[in-house]
Amino acid sequence: MSDERRPRVPASHTPDSDPGPADRLGSVEPTATENEVPVVYSVATPGGGRRGFLKTLSRGVLASSTAALASCDGKDSSSPSSPTQTSFTLSGTVTNQSTGSPISGASVEAVDGINAGKKTTTGSSGSYSLTGLLQSGFTVRASEASCSPVSKGITLMSDMRQDFALPPVAAQSTFTMAGVVSNKNTSKGIGGGKVIVVDGPNANKSSSTDGNGYYSIPALVRGGFTGRASASGYNSADKPVGIDGDTRVDFQLVPVAPPPCTCNPVCTCNPVCTCNPVCTCQSYSSCSCQSQHYWYPN
């Protein structure tokens, strides 16, 4: 390699004031305060002749190791303890929406959220107190058998009051009369018959009977009236009826009596018996003939 291409190395220059290696090491001996913590020495600038290194003293290592072990143990005595969770109370009254009167024995219950299932009942004054509730949002429902239930969504942040006004269940205003129309002699149902309301506020409401004699007349208002059942071949029957709810009314009809025997010009009885030319009717069910040509009841 030629002299032109060989890199030039500057001549080493050591000032008279620059200490030797031993003196340089001595110049970095730790002070009293440096004995407590690790000391990091930075990298020297070019030409300075010093190299950075970590000088860790024995007491500094011991202190650092103790702190690390305490951290690994997972116990930090300086951290604050978790606050105790506080519970709250929801209270109020349950009343009848129509009358404003208090409802005794109504149920008040949290139906969802972290308080789900907690419930209580109202006292004689309609008041309730639902205790032990945690801070949250949830739905609370008030209910009672004679009224429609009411639900409300609340957000509980502290003790809170919530009143409920329950609408009463609408009273039934119309009713149904139903039953069976049957043959009084045989107790068999009569199909094709009819049951009708003869008078009163429900007049002319009616129903036909099915093959088993069953009928049903809905939408009858409260009150009294006359019910009448009829069918072809039967005498009709009337019954007084009082409606204050769904009511069963049965009817029994008597068959119409067959016509008497006729003897002129022929003998016709019931069941059928025809004699020719002369006959004598003994009853509606039989006849005797004075001729050899005759037909007995079939």
**DSSP letter for each residue of 138-202:** EEEEEE-TTB--EEEEEEESSSEE--EEEPBPPPP-EEEEEEEEEETTT--B-TT-EEEE-SSTT
Please compute the mean of the pLDDT values over residues 281-288 and round it to a whole number.
49
Q: Are residues 248 and 262 in the same domain?
A: no
| Residues 233/237/243/249 CA torsion (nearest 10 deg) | -60
Q: Which domain holds residue 152?
A: 87-166
Please compute the mean of the pLDDT values over residues 95-121 and round it to a whole number.
94
In the sheet with 206-208, reading across from the earlier edge strand, the strands are 206-208, 194-197, 223-230, 237-243
Q: Are residues 183 and 162 in the same domain?
A: no
Please compute the mean of the pLDDT values over residues 1-18 and round it to a whole number.
48
Q: Does residue 57 lie within any of the structural domains? A: no
Handedness of CA 213, 245, 106, 160 (dihedral sign): positive
CATH value at residue 198: 2.60.40.10
The pTM of the whole model exceeds 0.85: no
Q: Do residues 277 and 291 make contact, with C-beta atoms less than 8 angstroms apart?
A: yes
Q: Do residues 137 and 205 make contact, with C-beta atoms less than 8 angstroms apart?
A: no
Strand-pair partners of 107: 121, 143
Most confident of 5-9, 85-89, 171-175: 85-89
Please compute the mean of the pLDDT values over residues 44-61 and round it to a whole number.
45
2 or 73, greater pLDDT? 73
Q: Are residues 186 and 154 in the same domain?
A: no
Q: Does residue 266 lie within any of the structural domains? A: yes
Domain C-terminal end among 166, 195, 219 = 166
Instruction: Give the chain's domain count.
Output: 3
Q: Does residue 105 lie within any of the structural domains? A: yes
H/E stretch holding 123 reads none
CATH value at residue 146: 2.60.40.1120
Q: Are residues 181 and 134 in the same domain?
A: no
Confidence of residue 73 (pLDDT cuts 50, 70, 90): low
Q: Does residue 203 lie within any of the structural domains? A: yes
Q: Does residue 185 lie within any of the structural domains? A: yes
β-pairing, 223-230 vs 194-197, is antiparallel
Domain C-terminal end among 166, 201, 223 = 166
pLDDT over threshold 60, residue 271: no
pLDDT value, residue 292: 40
pLDDT over threshold 90, residue 36: no
Most confident of 30-34, 195-199, 282-286, 294-298: 195-199
The span from the CA of 148 to the CA of 166, in Å, is: 6
pLDDT value, residue 63: 47
Q: Are residues 195 and 142 in the same domain?
A: no
Q: Does residue 208 lie within any of the structural domains? A: yes
Q: Do residues 284 and 259 make contact, with C-beta atoms less than 8 angstroms apart?
A: yes
The span from the CA of 106 to the CA of 89, in Å, is: 18
- Contact residues for 83 (Cβ-Cβ < 8 A; gap 6+): none
pLDDT in tens, 131-176: 999 999 999 999 998 888 999 999 999 999 999 999 988 766 889 9
Most confident of 16-30, 66-80, 202-216: 202-216
Q: Does residue 50 lie within any of the structural domains? A: no
Q: Are residues 180 and 248 in the same domain?
A: yes
